A and B are shown apart, each in its own frame.
Chain A
Amino acid sequence: MDTASTDVAMLLRRTGFAPTAAERAVASSAGFIPTARARVAQARTTIDAADSLAPPTFAPFTPLDRSADEASRRQALAKRLATDRRENIALAHWWCNRMAQSTNSLREKATFIAHDHFATSVETVKSAKLMYDQNQLLRTYALGDFAELMRRLVSDAAMLVWLDGDSNVAQRPNENFAREFFELFTLGIGHYTETDVKEAARAFTGWSYTLRTQHVAFVARRHDNKTKTVLGKSGNFGSDDIVRIAMTDATARNVAAHWWSRLAYPVTIDDSVVNDVAARFAQRLDIGDLVEAILLHDAFRSDAARTGLLKTPLEYVIGTMRLFNLTAEKADALRTLESLGQLPFRPPSVGGWPGNEGWCSAAAALTRAQFAARVVRSADLRSLSGRSTNERVDALAELLGVVWSEGTAATLHAHAGDVSTLAALALVAPEYQVN
């Protein structure tokens, strides 16, 4: 593969999940820049064939009957826990299948990058329905107005439960959300003080989530209606005001670094590329602008980028599902993702998921190997078995979108006789672990 084709392939991988050979060919003809622009433009639209995948249904909340006897209460609760568990599994399957089958995969990738940024876990939220609603919110603004997304996240039910927003009241402010808002979601460490956190917490008061009705409301008497001073500005601020005040250059850089690190290669906020793309992003705080700036930056087509990212567990599993036409259920995707530490809707903390070295333990390599063995047992490998042994190694390279090193090619050729073994080896080969 020449550099231009390699870069186009990388572009498709980074802005989606495992492009097919056909998709790579089309994009190569169109060229890198037109393809980059087209993908961003498409991700701004809402059309996706994966919409045909029905989302899970969620049982309405039914309060437990407190007057019932102990045994009945216990039974009712066990039933609810079982329902919750089913819904969580169904939700995770739904999103995994959506990502694998999406015809608008940059939008799905962006939704996941946002999920990683505003990392919220069902483990605390305890409601698949709320996680689904948040997911749709993230999808709506995937390549859209960052400030508007931030405004809506403040009163998102899942977020309120996750970071105690619903118990943040004027009489007793809870700083959990305000802290993560400044530290992780917007400015980043070093650009605000503890006092800013306290004051912002006061401004964020008033949002209330009611479990029984599953509704969010702003309750005036819970809101602190006095003057606050945040980031040097004073006023009787509410949530929207804090979001507005927080949209500074520091926020632009922090967000830009988050997206650059996931699309190109890991960087800190001080990196010069961050300044470049942050400046573009800051113009109208539009994520689509940011993504396009990243893709079109010279440093995106560099060796640093080409070798800078390993496939995250999600990219590895979803990409493989896509290439072998497997559903999440068939591929036993959730078990693998859980074992590798990247189950959607269940980030390890509000800090989101780790980067490259979080995926490099020997144990993680083992889990990928076990997944590979399962995939080749479930997948249709006839397109391979129909070929001669000599052709199979190249056919796999073409399918997976990789170029084998000499060493790998030699190992694969030695095992090309058995199609399952060959495919499994290809899936665990180091070249395929690179994004």
Chain B
Amino acid sequence: MEQLNLTRRQVVLGLLGVGALGAVGGALRWHPWDTLLDAAAQAGASSAGGNALVVITLAGGNDGLNTVVPYTDSAYLAVRQDMHFGPNEVLPLTDGLGLHPELTGLKALWDAGSLAIINGVGYPQPNRSHFRSMDIWQSGVPDRQEATGWLGRWLDAQSPSPMHAVSIGTQIPLLLTGSKRRPAAIPATGVAIPTMINEAYGELGAPDTTRGAWENVYRTAMRDLAAIQRDVHNVLPANVSKGGPGTTTTTTNTGVAAGRRAGNLRGQLDAVRAMLAAKIPTSVFHVMLGGFDTHATEKDTHANLMREFGDAVQTFLDQTYALGQPVTVVAYSEFGRRLALNASNGTDHGTAAPMFVAGNGVRSGLYGEYPSLTSLDDGDLKYTTDFRAVFGTLAARVLHVDPAQVLTGPQRDLGFLQ
């Protein structure tokens, strides 16, 4: 095999040209936070011209059929007899489609003319593995394992600053992983080094050329932490103390997937709002809401998620609008779910599902064709819009880059942004 096809594992294991000690700095640049804040301030507005993109990952596979509901379609009633929403329950949109009853937040955005819904989004030869499909969505590459995310590739083309993209939480998603650059990972609860060691912490992280390269990489992380705390601590919401909402972005996650929550979307978006309010020059944010893998007793779980999702997005956009900060939000999931219920009153992994884009510059309305409920692919919905076209439209309209620089495949501008 001629082409070196790196797996994500090889990238994250640092097997990209990191051999000798001296090469560490070459493969992954580590720049002290301070230097970069200064550079960003000098460079003026962020590279995206002041418009921020917030990507919301709905993890687990959102049941699109009960999110954007074809409530007048008899096929819907037939297949979802035991878990459907009727005309009196849905929040009506248009064209026989309505929103899940708990999505009042999104309905408010729709009514205000700031919500675009793209129906039937997917990709060819859908993969129903969480990991594989999530990698596909985040990398933008359906047909092979790709080690970088489409926004990571965008990040690679930016100046070397961790400021351009921020992932709320302690983990950095593939979405924002470039071959050269990575985003900053900032917990939603803010950054509070334990009081007893706070004073001396930054000192401990001072660079020391007598020590090894990797130790110095860690020292840089410590200095970054101290600096981020200084800059961002006053900015992020004060729900830092034990037990507060969003104390950790992954609370008691040792449960099975069905009940699992990477919770508190509201807290994560609040952290984004606070950073925007403080004019931290970040162009791309990533947040995540988990728990969508509703294999069993879906109705209540999904309802709670819908409420959390819709309310959090509405609150966030109301607040950022009031701040005068232009923000565009996009939400996606790694797949939808099957039409028919399984034997546990839940649904198994499916294929196509709707995406939501809301906020600044949105041309409100429905886009794409709602997938047929009768002409199916192995019992699942056939996608009608390729996800790369949605991301491509965002790349072009929000980040002002040529989509072809970060994505391959369908590039058509779908028209949901001005």
Do A and B belong to a common assembly? Answer: yes
Chain A contacts to B: CB under 8 angstroms: 64, 66, 70, 73-74, 77-78, 81, 84-85, 88-89, 92, 122-124, 126, 176, 183-184, 189-190, 193, 261, 266-268, 271, 303-304, 306-310, 334-335, 338-341, 343, 346, 348-352, 354-358, 360-367, 369-370, 372-373, 405, 407-408, 411, 414-415, 418, 420-421, 424-425, 428-431, 433-434
Please name the residue on chain A nearest to B12 by beta carbon: A354
Give 1 or 0 for each of B232-259: 1 = CB within 8 Å of chain A CB. 0000000000000000111011111111
26 A–B pairs (Cβ distance < 8 Å), ordered by A: A77-B297, A89-B254, A123-B256, A190-B5, A303-B21, A308-B214, A310-B217, A334-B254, A338-B250, A338-B254, A339-B248, A362-B185, A362-B221, A363-B225, A365-B222, A366-B187, A366-B225, A369-B193, A369-B194, A407-B204, A408-B204, A411-B200, A418-B196, A421-B196, A425-B197, A430-B219
CA distance A306 to B215 in the complex (A): 11
Q: Contact at B212–A307, with CB atoms within 8 Å?
A: yes
A360 and B218 contacting across the interface, CB-CB below 8 Å:
yes
A335 touching B218, Cβ below 8 Å? no
C-alpha gap A428/B197 in the complex (Å): 9
- Expressed in whole angstroms, the Cα–Cα distance for A414 and B221 within the complex equals 23
Is the contact region of chain B dominated by helix, strand, or loop, or is it mixed? loop
- B170 at interface by CB-CB < 8 Å: yes
B211 close to A405 (CB less than 8 A): yes
Interface positions of B from 163 to 199, Cβ below 8 Å from A: 169-172, 182, 184-187, 191, 193-194, 196-197
CB of B1 within 8 Å of the partner chain: yes
Partner of B214, one of A74, A356, A369: A356
Say yes or no: A268 contacts B221, CB within 8 Å.
Answer: no
Most buried by B among A92, A307, A370: A307
Are B194 and A434 in contact, with the CB atoms below 8 A? no
Contact status B221-A425, CB under 8 Å? no
A sample of 13 more A-B contacts (CB under 8 A), given A81-B256, A85-B252, A424-B197, is A124-B130, A266-B13, A307-B21, A307-B215, A338-B250, A346-B254, A349-B8, A369-B194, A373-B196, A414-B200, A421-B196, A424-B194, A430-B216
Q: In the complex, what distance in Å separates the CA atom of A306 from the CA atom of B211?
A: 11
Chain B, 1-35, CB within 8 A of any chain A CB: 1, 4-5, 7-10, 12-15, 18-21, 28, 33
Within 8 A of A (CB), among B123-170: 129-131, 135, 169-170
Do A183 and B12 touch across chains, with their CB atoms under 8 A apart?
A: no
B255→A88 contact, CB < 8 A: yes
> Is the CB of B89 closer than 8 A to any CB of chain A?
no
- The 5 A-B residue pairs whose C-beta atoms are closest, nearest first, are A307-B212, A85-B255, A354-B12, A373-B194, A351-B9
Q: Are A428 and B5 in contact (CB under 8 A)?
A: no
Looking at the assembled complex, report how far the CB atom of A1 sits from the nearest CB atom of chain B, in whole angstroms: 15
Q: Is the CB of B170 within 8 A of A430?
A: no
Contact of A361 among B21, B172, B249 (CB under 8 A): B172
Q: Which of A77, A268, A351, A367 contacts B296 (CB 8 A)?
A: A77
A124-B130, A411-B203 are known contacts. Are A307 and B214 too (CB-CB below 8 A)?
yes
CA distance A340 to B207 in the complex (A): 23
CB distance from A13 to the nearest CB of B (A): 14
- What residues of B have a CB within 8 angstroms of the CB of A339 in the complex? 170, 248-250
Set of chain A residues within 8 Å of B318, measured between Cβ atoms: none
Is B278 on the interface with A (CB-CB < 8 A)?
A: no
Provided the pairs A66-B343, A124-B130, A349-B131 are in contact, do residues A307 and B213 lie with their beta carbons within 8 angstroms?
yes
